[in-house]
Amino acid sequence: MKRRMPAVALIAMLFVLSAGVSPVLAGEKIEVSIDATVETLDNGLKVILVEDHSVPVISYQTFFRVGARNESAGITGISHFMEHMMFNGADKYGPKEFDAVLEANGGYSNAFTSADMTAYYEDISSDGLELCIDLDSDRMKSLALDPKFVISEMDVVKEERRLRIDNSVQGQMREDLDALAFKAHPYKWPVIGWMSDLEAIDRDDCVEYFRMFYAPNNAILIIAGDFDTKKAMKLIHEYYDDIPAQDPPKAVRTAEPEQMGERRGEVHRKAELPAVMIAYHTPDIESGDIYALDVLQKILTGGRSSRLYRELVRGSGAAMSVRASFPWRIDPYLFSFNIKMKPGHETTEAEEAVYAALDEIAENGVLDEELARAKNVLEADFVRNMQTVNDRASKIGRYEILFGDYLEIMNVPGRYRTVTDEEVREAAKKYFARRNRTVVTLVPEA
């Protein structure tokens, strides 16, 4: 199925940058449009091509609809492990050759795994298009999964887990927060997996997981940059058409039950100062509330003029740092706060400030200038993060996975622009109740 989007250029952002000042719109509305050619191959591979000759480079990205939410107990962490194995040899290019060949031709590659997706990308000069197509089609078609490399790479992943979680106070707190906030949904386990599962995963697990989730009908290929669309599509057919589709993976059916009361936990670790993480269940990606919650996050912790920064860092001096995060997820996830205290201050001070700020907004809303600033920053940041071909390809892949259609990208600036004080106030009332709250406190030990 092939379609050609209306030929509208990607519009550059329109904002002013001043030293020490966040981006502010320069009067005119930000517009985002994408000129793309879209085709789905007979084997189900969706191809999105964005031709742009402004710079002689391309970004070649493959997104797979698989992440930690697709795993099950016993094989947690396998999505992230497969990310590693995709660089460990296939039929044409052997172990460690993928990066060696790419780098020898001036290219660079990387990958990431999240709860909702796994993605791979190569950035290279324009003449490297066919090389990228050859490299990526090879590993999609015939990943080796050599038992020797399964063992050695798993040792690398286990060491990564020790570094990021087992030996990290913040990593341990985040892992405990998710595990406490979720009772049923797969978001309760870490993307890197539980250590006992990593020790038990074997080659047979990897072969089956690769067959199910790394098939072309579970993937999106995005190329952005300096290339000829007709030539690129011809090469894609040449290299990818013979890769067979597989039965679609089973949908994630588990829904998290409503939280019926506050949950609290402690992490006792060697540390100098206390810290606290606070989380509230929030809606999935299809909810219109996500835009009001983004605005709320900026108002609360987005910069030195934000409410909680003024209260806890500049005002009382109780905290070293205060951050809030609201990552968009396919299924309902969390809006969370992470606060590190200063010497002589307890985490109760931080909790009281957060709850008071949320109650105030739920009761009285936000100031006009706060609302305007937050929306301006969100709009400007959104478009600024689409300036390189890598940025554009990555955003297309993420939105295709999250929303099922990358065209949602073009609606986002307008959605931010229309968020009202009432929507922010209603979101605060709806989601930030005590019964919907999970708290994990760091208790320092000498």
Put simply, whether the predicted model's pTM sits higher than 0.85 gets the answer yes
Q: Report the candidate in 399, 398, 417 with the shortest Cα–Cα distance to residue 407.
A: 399
Q: What is the C-alpha separation between 260 and 265, in angstroms, rounded?
A: 16
347 Cβ neighbours under 8 A, 6+ residues apart: 274, 275, 276, 339, 341, 441, 442
What per-residue confidence (pLDDT) applies to 372?
97
Contact by Cβ (8 Å): 203, 292: no
What per-residue confidence (pLDDT) applies to 137?
98
What per-residue confidence (pLDDT) applies to 28?
59
Q: Which two tokens stand for residue 41?
A: 């191959």
Rg (CA), the chain: 23
Contact by Cβ (8 Å): 273, 347: no
Q: Judging by beta carbons within 10 Å of its beta carbon (0-12, 13-18, 19+), is residue 14 exposed, middle or buried?
A: middle
Q: Do domains 32-240 and 263-445 have the same CATH topology?
A: yes
Q: What is the C-alpha separation between 171 and 297, in angstroms, rounded?
A: 21
Q: Going edge to edge, which strands form the sheet with 2-4? A: 2-4, 37-40, 46-51, 219-225, 57-64, 118-125, 108-113
Helix crossing, 97-104 with 129-142: angle to 10°?
A: 170
What per-residue confidence (pLDDT) applies to 31?
74
Looking at domain 263-445, its CATH class is alpha beta
Q: What CATH superfamily classification does 32-240 receive?
A: Metalloenzyme, LuxS/M16 peptidase-like (3.30.830.10)
All structural domains of the chain with their residue ranges: 32-240, 263-445
Q: Which residues of the chain have pLDDT under 50?
A: 1-27
If DSSP states are collapsed to H, E and C, what string results for the chain? Answer: CEEECCCCCCCCCCEEEECCEEEEECCCCCCCCCCCEEEECCCCCEEEEEECCCCCEEEEEEEECCCHHHCCCCCCCHHHHHHHHCCCCCCCCCCCHHHHHHHHCCCEEEEEECCCCEEEEEEEEHHHHHHHHHHHHHHHHHCCCCHHHHHHHHHHHHHHHHHHHHCCHHHHHHHHHHHHHCCCCHHHCCCCCCHHHHHHCCHHHHHHHHHHHCCHHHEEEEEEECCCHHHHHHHHHHHHCCCCCCCCCCCCCCCCCCCCCCEEEEEEEECCCCEEEEEEECCCCCCCHHHHHHHHHHHHHCCCCCHHHHHHHHHCCCEEEEEEECCCCCCCCEEEEEEEECCCCCHHHHHHHHHHHHHHHHHHCCCHHHHHHHHHHHHHHHHHCCCCHHHHHHHHHHHHHHHCCHHHHHHHHHHHHCCCHHHHHHHHHHHCCHHHEEEEEEEEEC
